[in-house]
Amino acid sequence: MQVTFFGTGYVGLVQAAVLAEAGHHVICVDIDARKVEGLKQGHVPIYEPGLERLVKENSAAGRLVFTTDAAEGIEHGTLQFIAVGTPPDEDGSADIKYVLGVADQIAANMADHKIVVVKSTVPVGTSHKVKATMKARLAERNRPDLTFDVASNPEFLKEGAAVADCSKPDRIIVGVESEAAEKVLRELYAPFSRNHEKIISMDIRSAELTKYAANCMLATKISFINEIANLAELLGADIEKIRLGIGSDPRIGYQFIYPGVGYGGSCFPKDVQALIRTADEVGFDATVMKSVERRNNLQKRFLFDKILQHFGGDIAGKTFAMWGLAFKPNTDDMREAPSRVLMEALWAAKAKVRAYDPKAMDECRRIYGEVDGLELCETQEEALEGADALLLVTEWKSFFAPDFGQLKRMLKEPVIFDGRNVFDPVVTSRQGITLYGVGRGLAE
Ligand code: UGA
């Protein structure tokens, strides 16, 4: 099938490449000429396992084309996917101006029937705004003969596993208003729905809300377990035991109940905020989501408070080794990362950071540049040199089994603040290391 994607961000690029791999002919349009030039040479601007290979191979096979020319893309695709960004504006609502801009462009240039599919995460009602925008433009062009369908097809991929998630989706949500559009989308996704039916079709508004409901549910699980972790600590219980104890109930499940330093990334914080705003707009007080956000903001300061407590309230002049900068492992993304809140709090308290992350060093350099108080180290061991304590913020695999002897020799004081409960308190205590975890009252 002929498909066009507007926006080569995480969602657009991954989905486009995966559709091309399944045999569809995909054109990706992006306004960023440098990015498009790079993609044409096979340079993928994000770190995502498997993506570069897909981009290179499908480009070489002629099934995946990159361009800045919107008209070319509009002419090509029966399906026009909108996958541009929806950054939060000042009050936290998702800004849909780019989405509507693309809709307008499609209507301004189209010459035959199009199915316009909104892939970006957008507030409920946006697809209908897309429709209104296109209608207005077609009326202005005086082309009432040109018809189109609008559909909502939210994305559920996770960073770091985006290609795998997209290639083997749990479900494909298709929000449609016409049987004809549903039929085309079913055909498009047929290669991904072979073993058992993955496509769940529904009305457009429900599809739009499904996306927010999914992310907000997951964010709720995280804030919930973080709340219990804090409580466990005060009560002298171990959250890691409790996690296993409740996860074994299939109604709860083991996933997304790992306590830590709070959720980050480009999705959960933004989507929780956007849902709160959407609720406000219809006069509804989303009390659960507000609490989820509040707990998360507190949680991001969790390690800092522990550090202050340990050092008697004064950390001026101290140096901390920080392992992990990315908001989670297997990505170089630092958007809304807990590491940033922690580093900034440490700097404000006049402490220094020696940081290491397997993938996010360049991103950290891009965000902070040359900052007094930040040294980026080549290896995780180098970060320990002369530091007063170790802070573990992201659970990269390479951090799981350090040489504790070496660690003790390199740190000024044998103390670890483990923001992801990676270390076993029995092991560290045997090594003579003081370990602060999240919600492990008994361990201290
Ligand atoms: C999330 C969702 O998981 C995807 O399904 C969704 O498609 C995506 O947002 C999106 O809307 O685009 P992502 O932001 O890539 O994906 O990251 P997650 O793996 O969900 O992790 C989010 C945050 O939660 C991370 O900071 C992670 O460390 C934290 N987390 C996760 C915990 O603190 N505890 C857990 O048990 C799980």
**Extents of the domains making up the chain:** 2-202, 236-444
- Residue 394 and residue 325: Cα distance in Å, rounded? 6
Q: Which two tokens stand for residue 210?
A: 């499904």
Hey, is 321 helix, strand or coil? strand
Q: Name the helix (H) or strand (E) containing 244.
A: helix 239-247
The pLDDT value recorded for residue 441 is 77
What CATH code is assigned to 236-444?
3.40.50.720
Can you tell me which residue has the tokens 């995460």? 121
Q: Ligand 1 centre from 266 Cα, in Å?
A: 9
SS percent in the chain: helix, strand, coil, step 5: 45, 15, 40
Does the beta carbon of 268 lie inside 6 Å of ligand 1? Answer: yes
Separation of 143 CA from ligand 1 center, angstroms?
Answer: 44
Cβ–ligand 1 distance for 260 under 6 Å, the answer: yes
SS3 of 114-137: the string is EEEEECCCCCCCHHHHHHHHHHHH
Report d(CA 260, CA 438) in Å as an integer.
6
In 3D space, the residue among 335, 375, 340, 334 whose CA is nearest the CA of residue 356 turns out to be 375
Residue 195 pLDDT greater than 90, yes or no:
no
Contact 156, 171 (CB under 8 A): yes
Query: Rounded to whole angstroms, how far apart are CA atoms 304 and 299?
Result: 10
Measuring from atom 23 of ligand 1, which residue has the nearest CA?
Answer: 263
Q: Is 29 exposed, middle or buried (0-12, 13-18, 19+ CB in 10 A)?
A: buried
Mean pLDDT confidence for 2-26: 97
Q: How many whole angstroms separate alpha carbon 256 and alpha carbon 233? A: 20
Beta bridge partners of 321: 354, 390
Report the C-alpha gap between 156 and 171 in whole angstroms: 9
> What is the pLDDT, as a whole number, of residue 442?
58
Tokens 């202050």 belong to: 308
Identify the residue whose C-alpha is closest to ligand 1 atom 2.
158
Whether 156 and 149 have beta carbons less than 8 Å apart is answered as no
Report how far ligand 1's centroid is from the alpha carbon of 222 (Å). 9
CA distance 351 to 87: 32
Q: Is 399 in the pocket of ligand 1 (CB under 6 A)?
A: no
Q: Is the pLDDT of residue 444 over 70?
A: no
Burial class (CB in 10 A: 0-12, 13-18, 19+), 367: middle
Query: How many residues in the chain?
Result: 444
Which two structure tokens, joined as six digits, stand for 359?
């993938």
Tokens 């809300």 correspond to: 209
pLDDT of 97 over the 90 cut = yes
The yes/no answer to whether this complex scores an ipTM above 0.90 is yes
Query: Confidence class of residue 47 from pLDDT cuts 50, 70 and 90?
Result: confident
CB 169 within 8 A of CB 192: yes
CA distance 364 to 360: 6
Catalytic positions, written as ranges = 267
pLDDT of residue 443: 44
Percentage of residues of the chain with pLDDT beyond 90 = 93
- The answer to whether the CB of 156 is under 6 A from ligand 1 is yes
Question: Is 236-444 the same fold as 2-202?
Answer: yes
Is domain 2-202 given the CATH code 3.40.50.720 in the classification?
Answer: yes
Over the stretch 236-271, which tens digit does the pLDDT of each residue have? 999 999 999 999 999 999 999 999 999 999 899 999
Say which amino acid occupies 325: L
User: What is residue 95's DSSP assignment?
Assistant: P
Burial code (b: 16+ CB inside 10 Å, e: under 16) for 299-331 equals bbbbbbebbbebbeeebeebbbbbbbbbbbbbb
Cα separation, 429 vs 412, whole angstroms: 17
Instruction: Label the pairing between strands 64-67 and 79-82.
Output: unpaired
Based on its alpha-carbon atoms, the radius of gyration of the chain, rounded to whole angstroms, reads: 24
Ligand 1 atom, smallest distance to 158 CA: 15
Write the pLDDT tens digit of every residue in 48-95: 899 999 999 999 999 999 999 999 999 999 999 999 998 877 776 778
Please give the torsion angle defined by the CA atoms of residues 157, 161, 166 and 168, in that order, rounded to the nearest 10 degrees.
-120
Measured in whole angstroms, how far is the alpha carbon of residue 95 from the centre of its chain? 17
**pLDDT tens track for 362-398:** 999 999 998 899 999 999 999 999 999 999 999 999 9
Q: pLDDT value at position 137?
A: 97
**What mean pLDDT comes out for the span 146-161?**
95
Task: For residue range 135-146, list pLDDT tens digits in order.
Answer: 999 999 999 899
Give the pLDDT confidence score for residue 87 in this predicted structure. Answer: 83
Q: Is residue 7 lining ligand 1, measured as CB closer than 6 Å?
A: no
Quote the pLDDT of residue 92: 67
Q: Using pLDDT thresholds of 50, 70 and 90, give the confidence band for residue 194.
A: confident
